[in-house]
Amino acid sequence: MQKATGSDQDKMTQTGQKVAPASISEKKRYEQLSEDDLWPEYMRTRSHLIREVIAERYAPLVKYVAAKVASGLPQNIEFDDLIGYGAFGLIDAIEKYDPGRNTKFKTYAVTRIRGAIFDNLRDEDWVPRSVRQKIKDLESVVTSMENKLGRTVEDTEVAQEMGISLDEFHDLLKRINCTSVLSLNDTGHSSKDSERLSLTELLESPSSLNPDSMVERDEIRKMVFDVIMALPEKEKKVLILYYYEDLTLKEIGKVLEVTESRVSQLHTKAIFRLRTKLDKVRSSLMT
């Protein structure tokens, strides 16, 4: 049996089916196009070849986002799985992106890639039940104390209320820290049960939304902004640097001149405060 030559192999897709020479030539033409020329062509034709070219260009972005997410997850989570989840998010971003919204595709894609990864992690329910219970207990204590005192509570106060030492409290934060990244991406909500918005998506305001959705999104965005602004200064900086400046915990530690462990604590506490306050407002909106 005659072996396929290198040229013949170039004409094969990943599924093993032959690709017409014309398609190869057309794809190469698309590969030469700039971003500004590529998107109008894709919006006009919805060509699967253009989608493939865009996906290949942004494949490194999937790996970057997956690596950033992996840094806050347990080691038993397979990195290749995260990349696979993210790849679906990239395709989803390509199909739903609207250049007319004046948002850079890279910015939009990061949100979709990250969201796809978290959606799949959530579906797998990888967080142990015991850890989920600790999260609920801590959220309950913090909510009760802040309602009673009318201010942000200190670590020592929470530890005392829980009947544990400050060191034990910090150890508790370490144990539940791996869930905090997922938690932030689960703080959003929508009037539709089937639609879930991440915090990053809540801060966007796409022109494609209908007026009712725009009003709701504007209200939620203001609510989120107010909550973030009310956070202690260092916790607020950690969220901004991590989620919007794309710095790692180690890099944030250098900026704030604290240890990576301390940044991790600040991050976890910020997430608790956000979830607690947003859940409170969410409950009021649904009543």
85, 205: one domain: no
What values do phi and psi take at 12, rounded to 5?
-105, 140
82, 160: one domain: no
For 91, the domain range is 24-124
- The Cα 269–Cα 170 span in angstroms is 10
142, 269: one domain: yes
Measured CA distances, 55 to 23, 43, 62, 97 (Å): 17, 15, 10, 13
Residue 113 confidence (pLDDT): 93
The pair of structure tokens assigned to 174 is 């370490």
The pair of structure tokens assigned to 179 is 């869930």
Last residue of a domain, one of 124, 150, 185: 124
161, 255: one domain: yes
Within a domain: 211 = yes
Within a domain: 205 = yes
- The Cα 231–Cα 229 span in angstroms is 6
What values do phi and psi take at 209, rounded to 5?
-75, 150
Within a domain: 175 = yes
115, 133: one domain: no
106, 145: one domain: no
Last residue of a domain, one of 99, 124, 149: 124
63, 94: one domain: yes
CATH of the domain at 51: 1.10.1740.10
Q: By the 8 A CB rule, do 159 and 166 touch?
A: yes
Per-residue pLDDT of the chain (287 residues; tens, 9 = 90+): 444 444 444 443 443 445 555 677 888 888 888 888 999 999 999 999 999 999 999 999 999 999 888 876 777 788 999 999 999 999 999 999 998 887 889 988 988 898 899 888 877 766 677 777 887 888 788 888 888 888 878 889 989 999 999 888 888 887 776 665 555 555 444 433 334 445 555 544 444 444 444 455 566 667 777 777 888 888 889 888 887 777 888 889 999 999 887 888 888 888 777 777 766 655 655 55
- Name residue 12's beta-bridge partners: 18
Residue 47 confidence (pLDDT): 92
How many domains is the chain partitioned into structurally? 2
Q: By the 8 A CB rule, do 248 and 260 touch?
A: no
Q: Count CB-CB contacts under 10 A for residue 107.
A: 10
Last residue of a domain, one of 66, 94, 124: 124
Within a domain: 56 = yes
Contacts 24+ apart (CB under 8 A), 193-201: 198/111, 198/114, 198/115, 198/118, 199/224, 199/243, 199/274, 200/111, 200/114, 200/243, 201/111, 201/115
Residue 60 confidence (pLDDT): 96
Q: Count CB-CB contacts under 10 A for residue 112.
A: 24
Within a domain: 58 = yes
172, 245: one domain: yes
95, 174: one domain: no
184, 78: one domain: no
Contacts 24+ apart (CB under 8 A), 33-36: 35/105
